[in-house]
Amino acid sequence: MILYITKLEKGNIGADMHYKALCDIFGRENIFFINLSPTEKECRLQNYISYGKYKSVLDRVHRWMQGNMMFISNDIISEICELINSNAIKTVFIEDSVFGNLVKKIKKSCKECKVFSFYHDVKADLYKQWMDNERTLKSKIEYTIGIKQENINQKYADINIVFNERDAKKFQAYYGKRPDVIIPLPAPVPAISDNIMDSIAAKDDKKHILFVGKKYYPNLVGFKWFVDNVLPSLTDNIQVDVVGRGLEELRNEYSDSRINVIGGVESLNPYYENADIVIAPLFDGGGMKSKTVEALSFGKIFVGTEESLFGFWEEMNSDIRGKTCYQCNTPEEWIQTINNLANDDIHKFNEDVFELFKAKFSYDVVRDKMKAIMEE
């Protein structure tokens, strides 16, 4: 039996792919799922427990006083350890790095258990970024506790895993050691419509530029930067489609007729297929970006900042850099790149981009890497 623990919401592509890999490697019937997401309702089923949100403000404060973030309490930690012992669980995969108290207790009470911890970013760095922009006391408390919990986590976890070399260097800078493994962000190979494979948007056609992202601080800041600094200087033959849960709120914020705010959708696939260019103007964060790997999986022309391309740019050769994928960090670079693309023919599917994705970032590649470390 493998214990899988996460606080991430459904739809997080990295977490979804890791869970799928564990199920494929060990069998779904051999995975016990602990869900610590506060957006999930409390629920207990066979091989599944969701603890739900903290019960009250006092409960949240009590968790803080125990040294935990809002997702977990000492009672939950004790129950998880009892579950591990009663089911003779020998492997725990934690989809985060902020449960140091849990990892510490697992290692002390379940000595034969091996704990894998996946760092979607290095919280010692990311939470410091967020605290600089955060005004509410409760968030600053959460981030401060999260930083302390990650420090405990890295000491007690058997295998610390990060997404890319950038995060490995951050991990080493904060903790004085390298993480044990680097496994990149994966995505499934999408089923791409046949008519997209050979589709070309001619130079005079309106070009669809796609921005994907949920309502999340770095996404909102990045898109505002794009609208304020880039969009006014772009050609008129473009339409910027904005897709993502919670982004409906942007409909009344921007008046430029070239912005088409769609918001939350059931499936991103048709929007990726229709896009001529996918953009990711992001300037802070960590880990690897799901919108980038998704764009690559659809073989798309991609324009992003250094931040949005960490973990990807390093794997691109000269046939892709500056030809189908562009790294732009200043308004001038963005304006020149997009205007050049908008006034030229664009292939909606680019074979070299797709082949890079399959070779480096597809689900099968990452599953095999996980299998290798889990079975050592």
In tens digits, the chain (376 residues) has pLDDT values of 999 999 998 889 999 999 999 999 999 999 999 999 999 999 999 999 999 999 999 999 999 999 999 999 999 999 999 999 999 999 999 999 999 999 999 999 998 999 999 999 999 999 998 898 878 999 999 999 999 999 999 999 999 999 999 999 999 999 999 999 999 999 999 988 877 877 877 777 899 999 999 998 889 999 999 999 999 999 999 999 999 999 998 999 998 999 999 999 999 999 999 999 999 999 988 899 999 999 999 999 999 999 999 999 999 999 999 999 999 999 999 999 999 999 999 999 999 999 999 999 999 999 999 999 998 8
* Strands, E assignment, 46-187: 48-50, 91-94, 114-119, 159-162, 181-182
Q: Are 150 and 124 in contact (CB under 8 A)?
A: yes
pLDDT reported for residue 216: 86
- Residues near 32 by beta carbon (within 8 Å), at least 6 away in sequence: 1, 2, 3, 4, 47, 48, 83, 87, 89
- Residues near 209 by beta carbon (within 8 Å), at least 6 away in sequence: 238, 239, 240, 241, 275, 276, 277, 278, 279, 338
Domain ranges of the chain: 2-186+363-374, 194-360
Cα–Cα separations (whole angstroms), residue 133 to 158, 306, 330: 33, 21, 22
Helix (H, G, I), strand (E, B) or coil at 199: coil
Between CA 166 and CA 207 the distance in angstroms is: 33
The pTM for the full model equals 0.92
Between CA 371 and CA 376 the distance in angstroms is: 9
- Look at residues 20, 1, 99, 7 and name the one whose alpha carbon lies nearest to residue 50: 7
Name the architecture of domain 2-186+363-374: 3-Layer(aba) Sandwich (3.40)
- Alpha carbon 239 to chain centroid, angstroms: 26
pLDDT reported for residue 363: 97
pLDDT reported for residue 123: 97
| Side chain identity, residue 267 | S
pLDDT reported for residue 323: 96
Q: Are 299 and 322 in contact (CB under 8 A)?
A: no
- Look at residues 277, 153, 264 and name the one whose alpha carbon lies nearest to residue 214: 264
Highest CATH level, class, for 194-360: alpha beta
Phi, psi of 278 (to 5 degrees): -110, 135
Strand partners, 115: 92
Torsion angle of alpha carbons 298, 304, 308, 309, nearest 10°?
70
Torsion angle of alpha carbons 59, 62, 67, 70, nearest 10°?
10
pLDDT reported for residue 132: 85
Q: Please, what is the end-to-end C-alpha distance for the chain in angstroms?
A: 16
Phi, psi of 30 (to 5 degrees): -105, 10
The token duo for 346 is 């664009």
Q: Residue holding tokens 């934690």?
A: 94
